[in-house]
Structure 1
Amino acid sequence: MASRADNIASSLSFANFSKATELKQRIWFTIGALIVFRFLSFVPLPGVNPAALAELYSQQELGGGIIGMFNMFSGGSLERMSLIALGVMPYITASIVVQLASSLHPSLMALKKEGEAGRKKLNQYTRYGTVFLCAIQGWFLASGLEAFGAQAGIQPVVDPGMMFKVVAVINLIGGTMFLLWLGEQITARGIGNGVSLIIMAGIVAQFPTFTAQLFEGGRSGSISSALIAFLVIMIIALILVICFFERAQRRLLIQYPKRATQRGGMQADRSHLPLKLNTAGVIPPIFASSLLLLPLTITQFAGNSIDTTSASGSVIQTLNQYLQHGQPLYMLLYGVGIMFFCFFYTAVVFNPEDTADNLKKQGGFIPGIRPGKRTADYLDYVLSRITVVGAIYLTAVCVVPEYFIASNGLPLLLGGTSLLITVNVTVDTISQIQSHLLAHQYGDLIKKAKLKGRMR
């Protein structure tokens, strides 16, 4: 009955969409911010020749491997060497480091417990880390771009040298920090999570190009029709699996003490505590990708600016070879990273002890489990079990399709990670839209009730 009522309320709220002025303003603001993001991805860095860069990119076949993965997350900005070529991945890497440190370092743990003031301080540390990582990645990106051009006989940099590197680093830092500000504005004044929407927008913007390339390969015969059909079926199956598992949850029965009713009887209130199968959402694959992209991007571009005959050059070249996207070692590290961040982020967002204390204060309890520490232990036990299933699901969805795609030389955009991010962010955004619509509908009902009360 509850699910039926929710469906009816959702349909009614969508019927009143035209009346929800604030929601429409939020949606238009979000669309406008994402359009600004896409425009910025076509603005090249100062001193870069876009035509020469496009020729170099096609000749060197830089679209695959780890550079292709980074290019996918940046929405094609790396391919065009735009102001936002680094995307938001340095920020995600910095947030991982800060969250790990806040769980291990005593002083940062104390900051985490200070509430809003502590959260602002940790966010400030994250931004400092973002600037630091942008400076390192930007320097190696500019150096590698010059080295790529020298090797291929095509110089995409108009005036190579120290000045170009410094200007490139400054612009890349500014581009990433602007994206962070834009994401915060979307979260505060728009709809959905800003950073996640920026990542999703970059992925979705490349779908038409990659789809056209796929079917063009089928027309020319470079890709078999059977492979294309299997890929389409796999994508549809992945979307269905992702939707099923993202909505799956374990509902724990919560019972409250009996209370007297108006008729003189006693009635016990009941509710449910929903525990999502995948509490961490899309964070584990994004975090795992970010941690692998940071060192591999540096070694990828540094390897082209270092003499390969030297010891350091040969080591970097060997490292890049074994850690290319699709290689067994890379996929193993990627899968281990997803599983680790599933458990880590679940522990960050859900505290069994706090939940048990809140239930105890409200007089609620799980039938058969004593309130307090026993309830916290039981919640931790149940959450650990379902997180194992969620971690296996995430790892299978992200690793298996991407290994198949990398083995057949298909676009990385069609892999499990990109589909997971797209579907998950879309579902979360739609849920927020429904929440705004329901709130608007209930607000209208309250206003009508007040008007009727005044008339009486």
Structure 2
Amino acid sequence: MFETFRNAWKTEDLRKRLLYTLLILILFRLGCAIPVPYITSSALESMFTTGSMLTYLNMMSGGAMSRCTIFALGVQPYINATIIIQLLCVAIPYLENLSKEGEEGRQKLTKISNYTGAAIALLLSIAYYFIIRRMGALKYTDGFAGIFSGIVIVACFTAGAQFVTWMGNQIDAKGIGNGLSLMIFAGIVADWSRVGSSFQDMLTRAQAGASGYYIMIPAMVILALVAVVFVVILTNAERRIPVQYAKRVVGRKMYGGQASYIPIKVNMSGVMPIIFASTLCGLPNMIGSFLNLDATKHPYWTAFFRVFNYNSVLYLVVYVLLIVAFNYFYVAIQYNPVDISNQLRKNNGTIPGIRPGKPTSDFITKTLSKITLIGAVFLAIVAAVPMIVGDLTGVSIQLGGTSLLIIVGVALDTARSLEGYMTARHHKGFLE
């Protein structure tokens, strides 16, 4: 790996791309440290409790949301816009046609996603402003000063989200790897001190005489290493369906006759099902904390919101079921077996032992269903194990399954991207 980086550094084009990517990431982290004016961020600490929906938004922004900086919204508006446009491509014929028009259609979809992301950023900025106002974190709330400070706060959040999106697109065009994913990765790694606080908590309990904590620390390290290996293996795992193309003669040349395969990744949906599930499960708890209900006056509503506490068994069960459901849903909108079967027929390709047409699509659907189930179980294990271990040990594990999947996935994608550039220049790379 070090040899690959050394060879990449010697190549002028790659050296410029690496430096440009590093510069953008430094600017991103600087923006995550510049606070928005007229806000007292210390008054918001109670909002970002474990299990709250805001906890995951804060994690995706690298801790910028809890500090109320100009990049507090991070890449969330653009990610949400991209997901919405992907879903609408299935329902709206115009967007579906754009997705099939190649590079020109992709550019139009990107422009639509950017405008949608700007609208979502504005809505989120307004919502976050009212949350901050509700928590009493504003320095000015009345008169002209209150109106002016509100406009400035909303404008800062919205402009910061758009600037983050622009920086991510610049990394895509002039840097290495996926820009938005790299910024999420940088935010999680920069917030690594939370992991150290968990181990510091265990060490403090061990020094205080609590039984088992001296054994628990090395056990947690081993468990973390096993989890990383587990995630790496299943992130790269895929099911390859063999395809044989028939020979055909065009003029004096013969085409086809080669064997290929259709790759189906085990973790096709990435970290999206976990994010969706954690958002929905954390929403009732967040609403309950905002309402601040009196248990004596509203016992039923208080009990309802308490059921969705992060440490409850029902929360864990619903969390796992939603991960499985969202994984199937996300794969269904990304993968169409009928289109694959039609493409194989047009190119004279067949799956050995399977007739073309409907039998081929049925076989792909059956295979995809099995792989999706394995991927859903994998995501559920990665997301639920940190919660279970945290409940058993009494120590909050800050680096949960979502963070681990993002870190491993972005690292592997960036390594493949750099490997592609190196392979084109005949250098030895990461994955050989």
Could you tell me which residue of structure 1 aligns to residue 252 of structure 2? none
Give yes or no for contact 1:89–1:290 (8 Å, CA) kept in 2. Answer: no
Could you tell me which residue of structure 2 aligns to residue 445 of structure 1? none
User: Are the structure 2 counterparts of residues 120 and 322 from structure 1 closer, same or farther at C-alpha, using a change threshold of 3 Å?
Assistant: farther
1:134 to 2:116 alignment: no
Residue 440 (structure 1) shift: 1.4
Could you tell me which residue of structure 2 aligns to residue 65 of structure 1? 51
Per-residue displacement from partner, 1:176-198 (whole Å, max 9, x unpaired)? 11111111111222111122111
Per-residue displacement from partner, 1:118-164 (whole Å, max 9, x unpaired)? 44444444334433433333233223323334xxxxxx433233332
The DSSP-based 3-state class of the residue aligned with 1:252 is strand
The DSSP-based 3-state class of the residue aligned with 2:135 is helix
Residue 397 (structure 1) shift: 1.0
Could you tell me which residue of structure 1 aligns to residue 178 of structure 2? 193
User: Pick from 210, 216, 225: which aligns with 1:236?
Assistant: 225
Could you tell me which residue of structure 2 aligns to residue 400 of structure 1? 385
Cα RMSD for the two superposed structures: 3.5
What does 1:33-72 correspond to in 2, within 5 Å? 33-49=24-40, 53-54=41-42, 56-57=43-44, 60=46, 62-66=48-52, 67-72=54-59
User: Pick from 201, 204, 216: which aligns with 2:200?
Assistant: 216
Per-residue displacement from partner, 1:256-296 (whole Å, max 9, x unpaired)? 34699xxxxxx963333332222222333234445666x56
Residue 360 (structure 1) shift: 3.3
User: Are the structure 2 counterparts of residues 303 and 61 from structure 1 closer, same or farther at C-alpha, using a change threshold of 3 Å?
Assistant: closer
What amino acid is aligned across from residue 188 of structure 2 in structure 1? I
Identify unmatched segments of 5+ residues in structure 2. 250-255, 428-432
What does 1:173-322 correspond to in 2, within 5 Å? 173-207=158-192, 209-221=193-205, 224-257=213-246, 269-289=258-278, 299=287, 302-303=290-291, 308=293, 321-322=306-307
Q: Give me the identity figure in percent.
A: 34
Per-residue displacement from partner, 1:323-372 (whole Å, max 9, x unpaired)? 44444454444434432332333334433334334433443322111234
Residue 432 (structure 1) shift: 1.4
What amino acid is aligned across from residue 400 of structure 1 in structure 2? V
- The farther-off stretch of 244-253 and 269-278 is 269-278
Could you tell me which residue of structure 1 aligns to residue 133 of structure 2? 146
Query: For this pair of structures, how many residues does the alignment match?
Result: 411
The DSSP-based 3-state class of the residue aligned with 1:436 is helix
**Distance in 1 between the 2:122 and 2:391 partners?**
30
User: Are the structure 2 counterparts of residues 135 and 87 from structure 1 closer, same or farther at C-alpha, using a change threshold of 3 Å?
Assistant: same
Give yes or no for contact 2:285–2:306 (8 Å, CA) kept in 1. Answer: no
What amino acid is aligned across from residue 38 of structure 2 in structure 1? G
TM-score, structure 1 normalization: 0.78
Give yes or no for contact 2:244–2:258 (8 Å, CA) kept in 1. Answer: yes
The DSSP-based 3-state class of the residue aligned with 1:274 is strand
User: Pick from 9, 12, 19: which aligns with 1:28?
Assistant: 19
Per-residue displacement from partner, 1:350-404 (whole Å, max 9, x unpaired)? 3333433443344332211123443233222212211111111112111232343
**Distance in 1 between the 2:358 and 2:104 partners?**
29
Residue 110 (structure 1) shift: 4.4
**Distance in 2 between the 1:421 and 1:361 partners?**
37
**Distance in 2 between the 1:220 and 1:381 partners?**
52
Could you tell me which residue of structure 2 aligns to residue 77 of structure 1? 64
Residue 11 (structure 1) shift: 10
The DSSP-based 3-state class of the residue aligned with 1:255 is strand
Identify unmatched segments of 5+ residues in structure 1. 1-9, 150-155, 261-266, 443-456
- The farther-off stretch of 132-141 and 321-330 is 321-330
User: Are the structure 2 counterparts of residues 234 and 13 from structure 1 closer, same or farther at C-alpha, using a change threshold of 3 Å?
Assistant: closer
Residue 210 (structure 1) shift: 1.6
- The farther-off stretch of 29-38 and 158-167 is 158-167
User: Are the structure 2 counterparts of residues 226 and 381 from structure 1 closer, same or farther at C-alpha, using a change threshold of 3 Å?
Assistant: same
Per-residue displacement from partner, 1:59-81 (whole Å, max 9, x unpaired)? x4844331333222210101211
Give yes or no for contact 2:202–2:395 (8 Å, CA) kept in 1. Answer: no
1:159 to 2:140 alignment: yes
**Distance in 1 between the 2:297 and 2:420 partners?**
55
TM-score, structure 2 normalization: 0.82
Residue 36 (structure 1) shift: 1.0
What amino acid is aligned across from residue 22 of structure 1 in structure 2? D
Residue 251 (structure 1) shift: 1.9
**Distance in 1 between the 2:305 and 2:171 partners?**
37
Could you tell me which residue of structure 1 aligns to residue 77 of structure 2? 90
Residue 314 (structure 1) shift: 8.8
User: Are the structure 2 counterparts of residues 140 and 309 from structure 1 closer, same or farther at C-alpha, using a change threshold of 3 Å?
Assistant: farther
Give yes or no for contact 1:90–1:130 (8 Å, CA) kept in 2. Answer: yes
**Distance in 2 between the 1:11 and 1:269 partners?**
37
Residue 114 (structure 1) shift: 4.5
**Distance in 1 between the 2:299 and 2:379 partners?**
35
User: Pick from 401, 425, 429: which aligns with 1:440?
Assistant: 425
Residue 239 (structure 1) shift: 0.6
**Distance in 1 between the 2:227 and 2:16 partners?**
33
Residue 202 (structure 1) shift: 1.0
**Distance in 1 between the 2:83 and 2:322 partners?**
12
Per-residue displacement from partner, 1:209-229 (whole Å, max 9, x unpaired)? 123312322332278333333
